[in-house]
Amino acid sequence: MPRLLSLLALLLSFPLFAADRKNVVVIIADDLGNQLGCYGDKAAKTPNLDKLAASGTRFTHGFASVSSCSPSRARSD
């Protein structure tokens, strides 16, 4: 019952926060690192990603506890 009440409260409060929502794009690639022009790499030619980064927020200290391919290798059966 407490879970149901919490869920109901969350659903009812959603319209209050809808106006402040931001769009989020997370790009994940194996072994990419900072090899993009927006991170200062002179050899990388990534004009579209650089443009996207210039109008948004770049993460410079993001870490993952597992590799990005692990979820795709997990068995569901």
pLDDT in tens, the chain (77 residues): 567 777 767 666 665 555 666 777 777 776 777 888 998 999 989 899 899 889 888 877 777 666 666 666 666 66
pLDDT of residue 68: 61
Supply the pTM of this predicted model. Answer: 0.52
Compute the distance between CA of residue 29 and CA of residue 33 in angstroms, rounded to an integer: 9
Residue boundaries of the structural domains of the chain: 22-77
Q: Please, are residues 15 and 54 in contact by the beta-carbon 8 Å criterion?
A: no
Please state, in angstroms and rounded to a whole number, the distance separating the CA atoms of residues 65 and 57: 22
Contact 35, 41 (CB under 8 A): yes
